[in-house]
Amino acid sequence: MDKSNRHESFFREVLQLKRLWPFIRTDQWVLWVALLVTPLISMLALTQPYLIKVAIDDHFSKGDFTGLSEVAWMYLGVALGSYVLSVGYALGLSWAGMRMLVRLREWLYERVLSLPLSFFDKRPAGVLLTRLTNDIDALGEVIGAGIVTIVLDILMVAGCLGAMLYLDVELTILMLMCSPILIGLIELVRRQLKNLYLTIRDSIAAVNAYLSEQIDGVEIIQLFGGEDRAEAQFDVRNLKFRNASMESNIYDSLMFALVDGLSSVFIAMLLWYGSGQMGEWLGFEGIQVQSAGLMVAFIDYLNRLLTPVRDISQKMSVIQRALAAVSKIFGLVDEQEPMNLDGVDVPPSKGHIRLSNVRFAYSEQADDVIKGIDLEIKPGQVVAIVGSSGSGKTTLTRILDRSYTGYRGSITLDGVELSTCSIPSLRKQVVAVRQDLQIFSRSLRFNVLLENPDVSIEQAQKAAELTCADGFIGRLGWDKVLRERGGDLSVGEGQLLTFARTMAIDANIVILDEATASVDSVTEAKIQQAIENIFIHKTVIVIAHRLSTIQQADIIVVLEKGRVVEQGSHGELLTLNGRYAELVEAGKAAVG
Amino acid sequence: MGALQTLFKRYLRKNLPSYLAGTACLLATNYLSVTIPGQIGAAVDVLTTPEKLSAIQPFVFNIAWMGVAVVVVRSLSRVLFFNPGRDVEYRIRRDLFANLLHLPPAFYATQNRGDIISRASSDITWVRALIGFGGLQSINLVFALSLTLWKMGSISWVLTGITLAPIIVGTVIVQGSIRSWYPMMKKNQEYLADISEHVLESLNGVTTIQGFQAGSAFIRELKLRNKTWFDNNIQLKLVQSSILPLVALAGATSVFLLLYFGGPLLENGTLTVGNIATFIALLAALVPYMRSLGWMLSTWQSGRAAADRVLELLDAEPDHPEGTNGQHLSEGVVPNIKVSGLSFAYPDDPDNNILEDISLDLPAGETLGVFGKTGSGKSTLLRVLSRMYAPKRGMITVDGIDICDLDIYGWRRKLSTVPQRPFLFSDSVKSNIALGDSDDQERLDKAVSLASLTQDLPALPDGLDTIVGERGIMLSGGQRQRVALARGLYQGGELILLDDVLSAVDHENEQRLVKALNNFHERSQPSCLIVSNRISAFRHADQIVVLDNGRVVQRGTHGQLIEEVGLYQDAYLAQKEAGNTDGTAPASSTSSQEAKNG
């Protein structure tokens, strides 16, 4: 929420909550019932003092005890009734509120998963995670303690005001004349509090984020002697949180005490005015309230009217939290549209890809990172891309599976322009293995099949054999549940697993961003074998790190700063004795 | 002494005056709250006698000033109770963090990080709640309860007994079931954590999910976890919402008993009508207090548990065998290191020696290579040298001083370490290299260029000022490693420890780096220890040791070792054959997983 919004009226802000409506609509009857039940609960609550009055006035005072036990039983019955109603009320609102959370979370999750991949480059997973968890959880109380209570409070204030008007118009007007003082003071405090709540929320988040990051990196801090610096940095955040909390305590306490104390002052005014003494003193003819009963009732209503006002600061923190969460959640929704899934269906393809004068920039303002690439890949060919980092290798492959959209020039797959293809159908034909091994903490079966209905376990087994993954899969079993990020597989095994996943599905074009890792020679040989098998079965575009991989490629493309500088087979390029030969030499020379 | 008492003693003493003043304000508030209704009653009584209306003036005046006084004392009592809680929270958190920064890796190896963070955040919050709000409520409760009981008892002890019975029973039930909530609340937290875990994993794996169109499988799983959470939570809500209003129901039962049995007592003259009315008023006043008593008791309970957990971290001992006055080496002098008969096992697995009888010399200014397969103990050797783990005495000496006797901070200032796992903070590239040190542009440029990071800068949106995101998410794996390398080089220590980091740069730059390391330091030639399983890293080493299963199996120069049958030669031949050729960096995610075993 930016600064300009901070002074928007509370009411206008609360209206933002209407974006939650679609998620509660099916359960809206709960809200209506809750609104109807509340007066019933208050009525039952008011019946209790009445029954006591009857017991005292009609029975105890008169010494007449016949019928007293009936009154007593009635009292117990009313209490039981109000117990049942309030339990139902609380439970119903919780139920509806939780169902809203579940729906909202599922909707948002589905939406996030369908955002373009380029979106995730710029967003740390932690931030998106917060939207999907903490921010949604912050809405837990918004139905019960939020919306319904606000409505009820408004009804309560209106009802009391009505009753006061009915009892005595003049006294009510007197009270209304005094009210701007109270409202003004409360509004002043509320404004302060609102900004403070935001500061508190941000600063505690900063405290926790800093803490958790420094703990994660504690070895680095110790190795580099950064303990004192980290302590000082932490103190800045910790202190900010403490000071904001203390300041908000002051306003919070003041708000509570103001309403409490001022109500006595108002009552004093009422009594003074009502007794006619105020008029006498100020020299005007006021009313004189003769009835003590009327005055008592009036004071009672005044107190009831002020209670919701007094408790507003507590409720406000719930609402404020919810409002902040709503604006963040829907801020994410508004920021990025999901991928456009429309387009031409790509038929099963052997993979004939043609790039002509392809250019690409991350954004309209940025410089091109791909600066005019021409390339033809025939079905079944293996194309290796080499070049130093920053040369555009990865970017080029990410354009090909449409992780990045918005290329210029032309890319065709079997003659169909890539940008007109529907993404789901394209991704059935083109599949990518990226450097970061994405392994899920689920079973091996899940990790290879990804619950794809078109792939049978037999196919998966075959794929595992082709990619040399059958060894460890056989040892662990298909049902073995992996630890987080495949913690119980070695790096090499993780790589083989992702190869198996790729071979299991029907895609004929494979993009392979080969990961070089320090693996022992046995695993190295297996990876080599797996890659060779993939080469045999698919059309492959490989970002290669191994000399042996490159030698087998049909075409080697050397990229430099977004341009193709050399292109040809291993032999051709060596004879050319250019950039590629240089790279090969460096590799050999380094070993030695 | 309990943890809570210890914390109170250590942190609360300073705030005692505030509490005393708060208690005084609380007393005043309570006195006024009881007195004002009496004044109102008296004023209303005046209204019934129209001839003496002016008699209302003093009452009106009293009500008004008391109202204003309430604003002051009530605000003060809350501020005086709550703010010390905030201050204590701040100081505990500050000390806790400071201690965490000094705890050794052995400590973190046995602790779950999530648990540490929850102690530093939610457990401290519990302690604060107990100190602030809990303190206020407790004192309030004790006053109110004893006052009410005394008043009731002075009317009739029999009636007090009869009417209190349901309230006591009700409170016991509520208290008991609040205790039973905890397992459910804990489960609730676990289920929420399950959801977070799934969401995080989906976000990290989004490329695969989209690429393989596996979205529906992941959505199904989310729905499953959502449902588990919902089912447990609705149970919890059922218990919560049916238990809490039970106190009010118990209060009503008391009134029922009073009405039911009050008649006979009134008849035989033990009670007056006024007594009964007073009793009802007292009961009504009691109910909210009993309700908060339930909460109070559970706050004490969880506050105590939280205090235990906080104190455990607060008092965890850093591993400093040198004590408070460790020895300092002279600044700017390259140390001579002698390792003799070093055996080492991690504290959590003391029977499993990772290093076994290792002896080696690293004279000042020389470069030592340590070659070995994954799991041979290479990284462990580095960790012992940087004293992330302290070895036994007598195994490593630095300029003749036992490494265990060195002042730890002074020793680490002499090191430039580049660990295998490149940890980056969510700050700019520049701050990650200089680690908040005052900017020495020249040194920075040199480190950046030596680490081959220069080639990456054009691709970064703000160059060296690019914010790298959580754990460096904005950078590629290789870039992350190169930033970590630059950080180590920027430090400019006299002993450079490189843990398998040369894979971060391509071969051309690797050779440049290795050469440059040899004359990096301005004043004198630093020592250098390079750990790798890449033969190319060792060509310029003065000496190379080959580790296998924690033992030195071969030693010599590159030239000697490639002629000698053994692990080194095998690797040399294999790597010459397969030779990594191009200019890319390998992914960090892969090598980071090895960091533990290395």
Q: A454-510: per-residue pLDDT in tens?
A: 889 998 999 999 888 898 899 889 999 887 766 677 777 888 899 999 888 878 899
Residue A249 vs residues A243, A261, A527, B78, B382: alpha-carbon distances, Å: 10, 18, 62, 8, 50
Task: Verify that A157 and A190 share a domain, yes or no.
Answer: no
Is residue B505 over pLDDT 70?
A: no
Q: Which chain A residues contact residue B76 at CB under 8 A?
A: 253
Task: Verify that A119 and A246 share a domain, yes or no.
Answer: no
**B315 part of a folded domain:** no
Q: Which chain B residues contact residue A55 at CB under 8 A?
A: 259
Q: Residue A94 and residue B582: Cβ atoms within 8 Å?
A: no
The residues in A 167-186 lying below 8 A from B, measured between CB atoms, are: none
Q: Residue A225 and residue B476: Cβ atoms within 8 Å?
A: no
Q: Residue A83 and residue B209: Cβ atoms within 8 Å?
A: no
Q: Which chain A residues contact residue B273 at CB under 8 A?
A: 56, 60-61
Q: Residue A80 and residue B83: Cβ atoms within 8 Å?
A: no
pLDDT at residue B338 in the model: 94
Is residue B110 over pLDDT 90?
A: no
Q: Which chain A residues contact residue B136 at CB under 8 A?
A: none
For residue A331, name the pLDDT band (cuts at 50, 70, 90). Answer: confident
Rounded Cα distance, B178 and B165, in Å: 20
Q: Residue A229 and residue B249: Cβ atoms within 8 Å?
A: no
Q: Residue A133 and residue B581: Cβ atoms within 8 Å?
A: no
Q: Which chain B residues contact residue A293 at CB under 8 A?
A: none
Q: Which chain B residues contact residue A129 at CB under 8 A?
A: 196, 199-200, 203
Please list the residues that pair with A563 across neighbouring strands.
A560
Mean pLDDT rounded to a whole number for chain A: 83
Give the tens place of pLDDT for each residue, A140-184: 777 766 677 777 788 888 888 888 888 888 888 888 888 888 888
**A322 part of a folded domain:** no
**B474 part of a folded domain:** yes
ipTM of the complex: 0.83
pLDDT at residue B114 in the model: 72
Task: Verify that A173 and A142 share a domain, yes or no.
Answer: no
The answer to whether B163 touches B254, Cβ cutoff 8 Å, is yes
Q: Residue A272 and residue B60: Cβ atoms within 8 Å?
A: yes
**B32 part of a folded domain:** yes
Q: Which chain A residues contact residue B386 at CB under 8 A?
A: 223
Task: Verify that A198 and A150 share a domain, yes or no.
Answer: no
pLDDT at residue B594 in the model: 36
The stretches of A275-291 forming alpha helices (DSSP H) are: 277-282
Q: Residue A389 and residue B593: Cβ atoms within 8 Å?
A: no
For the four alpha carbons of A414, A415, A418 and A420, in that order, the dihedral sign comes to negative
CATH of residue A483's domain is 3.40.50.300
Nearest CA in chain A to B217: A451
The residues in A 512-571 lying below 8 A from B, measured between CB atoms, are: 515-521, 524, 528, 543-548, 550
pLDDT at residue B518 in the model: 61
Rounded Cα distance, A194 and A189, in Å: 9
Q: Which helix (H) or strand (E) holds A69?
A: helix A68-113
Tell me the backbone φ, ψ of residue B371, rounded to 5 degrees.
-110, 145
Tell me which of B135, B154, B173 is where a domain ends.
B154
Task: Verify that A102 and A195 share a domain, yes or no.
Answer: no
- Range ranked top by mean pLDDT from A307-321, A576-590, B129-143, B408-422: B408-422
Task: Verify that A357 and A502 share a domain, yes or no.
Answer: yes
**HEC secondary structure over B329-383:** CCCCCCCCEEEEEEEEECCCCCCCEEEEEEEEEECCCCEEEEEECCCCCHHHHHH
CATH of residue A264's domain is 1.20.1560.10
Q: Which of B101, B117, B217 sits opposite A208 (nearest CB)?
A: B117
Q: Which of A204, A518, A586 sits opposite B503 (nearest CB)?
A: A518
Task: Verify that A107 and A177 share a domain, yes or no.
Answer: no
Range of the domain at A532: 353-591
Q: Which helix (H) or strand (E) holds B529?
A: strand B527-532
**A64, A185, A186, A271: which to substitute to probe chain B, counting the most B Cβ within 10 Å?**
A271
The residues in A 254-293 lying below 8 A from B, measured between CB atoms, are: 254, 256-258, 260-265, 267-269, 271-272, 274-277, 280, 288-292
CATH of residue B376's domain is 3.40.50.300
* Strand order across the beta sheet in which B367-372 lies: B415-418, B495-499, B527-532, B367-372, B543-548, B551-556
Q: Which of B210, B234, B471 sits opposite A95 (nearest CB)?
A: B234
Q: Residue A547 and residue B578: Cβ atoms within 8 Å?
A: yes
The answer to whether A254 touches B151, Cβ cutoff 8 Å, is no
Is residue A299 over pLDDT 60?
A: yes
Q: Which of B102, B216, B218 sits opposite A227 (nearest CB)?
A: B102
Contact partners, residue A336, CB within 8 Å, separation at least 6: A115, A116, A119
Nearest CA in chain A to B497: A223
For residue A515, name the pLDDT band (cuts at 50, 70, 90). Answer: low
- The alpha carbon of residue A85 and the mean position of all alpha carbons in its chain are separated, in whole angstroms, by 35
**A298 part of a folded domain:** no
Q: Which of B238, B500, B572 sits opposite A591 (nearest CB)?
A: B572
What's the number of domains chain A is made of? 3
Task: Verify that A188 and A215 share a domain, yes or no.
Answer: yes
Task: Verify that A125 and A213 share a domain, yes or no.
Answer: no
Range of the domain at B563: 337-594
Average of per-residue pLDDT across A204-222: 85
pLDDT at residue A95 in the model: 92
Is residue B420 over pLDDT 80?
A: no
Direct distance between the N- and C-terminal alpha carbons of chain B, in angstroms, rounded to an integer: 44
Tell me which of B121, B154, B187 is where a domain ends.
B154
Which two structure tokens, joined as six digits, stand for A231?
């302590």
Tell me which of B154, B179, B214 is where a domain ends.
B154
Is residue B591 over pLDDT 70?
A: no
Which two structure tokens, joined as six digits, stand for A542?
């490989």
Place of tokens 């016991």: B172
CATH of residue B95's domain is 1.20.1560.10
Q: Which of B67, B574, B582 sits opposite A583 (nearest CB)?
A: B582
Classify each residue of B579-595 as buried b or exposed e, where b means 16 or more C-beta atoms within 10 Å of its C-beta. bbbbbbbbbbbbbbbbb
- The alpha carbon of residue B120 and the mean position of all alpha carbons in its chain are separated, in whole angstroms, by 4
Q: Residue B590 and residue A435: Cβ atoms within 8 Å?
A: yes
Residue B115 vs residues A22, A209, B340: alpha-carbon distances, Å: 37, 14, 39
**B224 part of a folded domain:** no
Place of tokens 């105890």: A60
CA of B208 vs chain A CAs: smallest distance (Å): 7
**B327 part of a folded domain:** no
Is residue A518 over pLDDT 80?
A: no
pLDDT at residue B35 in the model: 82
**A256, A281, A435, A509: which to substitute to probe chain B, counting the most B Cβ within 10 Å?**
A435
Closest to B184 measured CA to CA, from B241, B117, B229: B229
Helix axes B507-518, A579-591, angle to 10 degrees: 50
CA of B2 vs chain A CAs: smallest distance (Å): 26
Mean pLDDT rounded to a whole number for chain B: 83
Q: Which chain A residues contact residue B500 at CB under 8 A?
A: 518
Q: Residue A431 and residue B113: Cβ atoms within 8 Å?
A: no
CB pairs under 8 A between A and B: 499
The answer to whether A92 touches A34, Cβ cutoff 8 Å, is yes
pLDDT at residue A516 in the model: 57
Q: Which chain A residues contact residue B215 at CB under 8 A?
A: 110, 113-114
Is residue B581 over pLDDT 70?
A: no
Q: Residue B576 and residue A592: Cβ atoms within 8 Å?
A: yes
Average of per-residue pLDDT across B399-412: 91
Is residue B350 over pLDDT 80?
A: yes
Q: Residue A83 and residue B578: Cβ atoms within 8 Å?
A: no
For residue B375, name the pLDDT band (cuts at 50, 70, 90). Answer: confident
Task: Verify that A503 and A546 share a domain, yes or no.
Answer: yes
For residue B580, name the pLDDT band (cuts at 50, 70, 90). Answer: very low
Task: Verify that A443 and A585 share a domain, yes or no.
Answer: yes
**A300 part of a folded domain:** no
Nearest CA in chain A to B570: A521
pLDDT at residue B72 in the model: 94
DSSP tally for chain B: helices H, then strands E: 21, 10
B577, exposed or middle or buried, with CB in 10 Å at 0-12, 13-18, 19+? exposed
Rounded Cα distance, A319 and A312, in Å: 10
**A313 part of a folded domain:** no
Nearest CA in chain B to A548: B578
For the four alpha carbons of B36, B37, B40 and B45, in that order, the dihedral sign comes to negative
Rounded Cα distance, B503 and A545, in Å: 12
Give the tens place of pLDDT for each residue, A22-35: 999 999 999 889 88
Q: Is the pTM of this model over 0.80?
A: no
What's the number of domains chain B is made of? 2
- Range ranked top by mean pLDDT from A124-138, B482-496, B568-582: B482-496
Q: Which chain B residues contact residue A543 at CB under 8 A?
A: 584
Give the tens place of pLDDT for each residue, B22-69: 989 988 988 888 788 778 878 887 777 777 777 888 888 999 999 999
**B460 part of a folded domain:** yes
Task: Verify that A98 and A215 share a domain, yes or no.
Answer: no
Q: Which of B105, B276, B469 sits opposite A124 (nearest CB)?
A: B469
